[in-house]
């Protein structure tokens, strides 16, 4: 009877591990600094920039709809005062600006669909053209009797400059916001100079007030541009951080998928069907601490009917140890098929793993050969322990030492002859990795070998698969909320009465 990877075990407790979240994004930089630029020259940011621009243009079009209502109200008011034809130039100007914004919106959406990048020059030209709308409206107001040059410089149209400056933050560029403020101030200054030169009567009585008011508006426009630039910088940093987080999440999801695939492949390497060998009941089980691990168990049927059982533990756990596990298993299976002598087999495997494993990596391994109907079982260990045999007649455990160090450390080491175990009916050979022994509870107390022996003794009459299941339940109950920090692997060989 065999125990598959997880089927007959109690539901595992959460192991408390999470996929690494990656490095945190740091946005330590000045506005528009080189560090920011190096972080955001990505397709994701360019796409976010274009979508933000699309939102900005739609907001402008909504504002234009409101301006149209104001123009209609002004036209009605001018008609009531006997002024005819003064509203239509503003309506035509607004219509031209609307057509331009619609075309610009279409251009931006096309760039989004085609993944094209909008040049910095195109952004700057767009800002200049948009700032011409309030400038042109001011010139029209200067030459209308409804307002005239006296009130044009302080009319509500000046607020349109601030509207464009505020919305320039959606460019996500501090530089473009400053450009919007600077050009707005320059164009307002041009209108002011035009008024003061062509209509000197505007400042004839209160020249200081007129000049200082115009200068104040220019200063406010410039300051507004720099303030918008500061806001754009912060928005830019938040967008970059959000994009970086999204990219990290996508990488984590991809890593998780890859780890799930690796786990599936690794679990597929473990035997699924128990070996059918007269006089023995064999079961094995494995549970990695992470998605993949370095432990494994195996059994291999030889040509003469014997079965080689193996438990191995590659240092550490995770994907690196999983690769070492796959290499160790492959070498072991190939070596056991051609080398029946366990000492020679370990020596050859040791040299191969020394060549392949990186520095600091090694493998502990215990291997035994089960012969149909025979009581003797040769067992050899390369740094793996404990090697426990429960004697049913004596009701006690015998523990055996390893014949040498783990594999992959000393390439020329010669392993001593194997132990020759003699198993009577109901005797049990137990091979586990140190994940069972060293799993600690909240008081930092290890499960330990003594508790492991107690569980085996209490379940000595059970099949091998049930013994492993009870062993896992006991260690989980003992550990409580403490997460599993190491891989768990167990292999149990129980001597039973031969079939007649």
Query: d(Cα 473, Cα 352) in Å, to the nearest integer?
Result: 37
Burial 375-409 (b: 16+ CB within 10 A, else e): eebbbbbbbbbbbbbbebeeeebeebebbbebbbb
Taking the complete model, does pTM exceed 0.75, yes or no?
no
Residue 333 CA, chain-centre distance (Å), reads 37
| DSSP percent split of the chain into helix, strand, coil, nearest 5 | 55, 15, 30
Q: Which whole-number Å values give the CA distances from 58 to 101, 128, 481, in the listed order?
A: 9, 18, 54
Q: How many CB atoms lie within 10 A of CB 497?
A: 9
Reported as half-sphere exposure (CB side, CA atoms, 13 A), residue 154 has a value of 11
Query: d(Cα 87, Cα 73) in Å, to the nearest integer?
Result: 9
Torsions phi, psi for 285 (to 5 deg): -155, 150
Q: Which whole-number Å values give the CA distances from 205 to 202, 208, 212, in the listed order?
A: 8, 9, 14
Long-range CB contacts (within 8 A, 24+) of 474-479? 474/447, 475/436, 475/439, 475/447, 475/451, 476/10, 476/12, 476/13, 478/439, 478/441, 478/447, 478/451, 479/13, 479/439, 479/440, 479/441, 479/447
Q: Tell me if 447 sits within 8 A of 436, measured CB to CB.
A: yes
Q: Which helix (H) or strand (E) holds 339?
A: none
Q: What's the pLDDT score for residue 4?
A: 40
Q: What's the pLDDT score for residue 30?
A: 39
Q: What's the pLDDT score for residue 138?
A: 92
Q: What's the pLDDT score for residue 78?
A: 62
Q: Where are the domains of the chain?
A: 34-252, 271-495
Torsions phi, psi for 367 (to 5 deg): -135, 135
Sign of CA pseudo-dihedral 148, 153, 159, 160: positive
Q: What's the pLDDT score for residue 13?
A: 36
Query: d(Cα 129, Cα 107) in Å, to the nearest integer?
Result: 15
Q: What's the pLDDT score for residue 6?
A: 38
Domain 271-495, CATH:
3.60.40.10
pLDDT along the chain (500 residues), means of 10: 39 37 36 43 80 92 86 68 67 91 94 87 91 92 82 89 93 92 94 91 75 92 95 91 86 84 81 91 92 88 91 84 88 84 91 90 94 93 94 95 93 90 95 94 95 96 96 96 92 84
R_g over Cα of the chain: 40
């Amino acid at each position: 009877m065999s125990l598959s990877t997880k089927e007959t075990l109690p539901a595992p407790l959460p192991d408390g591990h999470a996929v690494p979240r990656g490095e945190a994004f740091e946005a330590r930089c000045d506005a528009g600094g080189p560090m920011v630029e190096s972080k955001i020259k990505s397709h994701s940011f360019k796409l976010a920039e274009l979508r933000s621009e699309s939102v900005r243009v739609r907001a402008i079009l909504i504002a234009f709809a409101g301006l149209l209502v104001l123009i209609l109200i002004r036209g009605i008011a001018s008609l009531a005062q006997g002024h005819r034809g003064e509203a239509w130039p503003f309506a035509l100007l607004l219509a031209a600006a609307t057509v331009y914004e619609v075309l610009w919106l279409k251009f931006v959406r096309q760039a989004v669909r085609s993944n094209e990048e909008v040049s910095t020059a195109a952004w700057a030209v767009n800002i200049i053209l948009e700032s011409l709308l309030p400038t042109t409206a001011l010139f029209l107001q200067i030459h209308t009797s409804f307002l005239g040059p006296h009130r044009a410089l302080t009319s509500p149209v000046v607020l349109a400059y601030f509207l464009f400056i505020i919305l320039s933050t959606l460019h996500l560029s501090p530089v473009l916001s400053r450009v919007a403020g600077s050009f707005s101030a320059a164009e307002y200054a041009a209108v002011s100079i035009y008024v003061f030169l062509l209509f000197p009567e505007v400042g004839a009585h209160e020249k200081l007030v007129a000049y200082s008011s115009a200068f104040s508006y220019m200063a406010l426009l410039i300051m507004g541009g720099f303030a918008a630039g500061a806001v754009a910088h912060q928005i830019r940093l938040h967008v970059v951080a959000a994009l970086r987080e999204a990219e990290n999440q996508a990488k984590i999801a991809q890593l998780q998928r890859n780890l799930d695939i690796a786990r599936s492949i690794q679990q597929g390497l473990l035997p699924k069907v128990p070996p059918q060998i007269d006089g023995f009941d064999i079961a094995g089980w494995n549970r990695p601490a992470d998605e993949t691990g370095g432990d494994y168990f195996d059994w291999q049927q030889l040509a003469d009917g014997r079965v080689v059982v193996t438990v191995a533990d590659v240092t550490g756990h995770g994907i690196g140890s999983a690769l070492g596990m796959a290499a160790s298993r492959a070498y072991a299976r190939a070596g056991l098929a051609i080398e029946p002598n366990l000492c020679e087999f370990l020596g050859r495997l040791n040299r191969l793993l020394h060549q392949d494993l990186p520095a600091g990596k090694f493998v502990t391994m215990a291997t035994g050969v089960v012969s149909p109907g025979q009581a003797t079982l040769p067992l050899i260990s390369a740094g793996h322990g404990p090697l426990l045999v429960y004697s049913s007649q004596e009701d006690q455990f015998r523990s055996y030492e390893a014949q040498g160090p783990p594999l992959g450390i000393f390439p020329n080491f010669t392993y001593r002859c194997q132990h020759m175990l003699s198993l009577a009916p109901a005797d049990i050979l137990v091979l586990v990795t140190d994940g069972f022994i060293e799993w600690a509870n909240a008081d930092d107390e290890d499960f330990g070998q003594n508790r492991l022996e107690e569980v085996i003794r209490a379940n000595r009459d059970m099949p091998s698969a049930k013994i492993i299941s009870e062993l896992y339940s006991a260690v989980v109950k003992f550990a409580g909320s403490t997460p599993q920090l190491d891989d768990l692997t167990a292999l149990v060989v129980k001597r039973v009465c031969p079939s007649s």
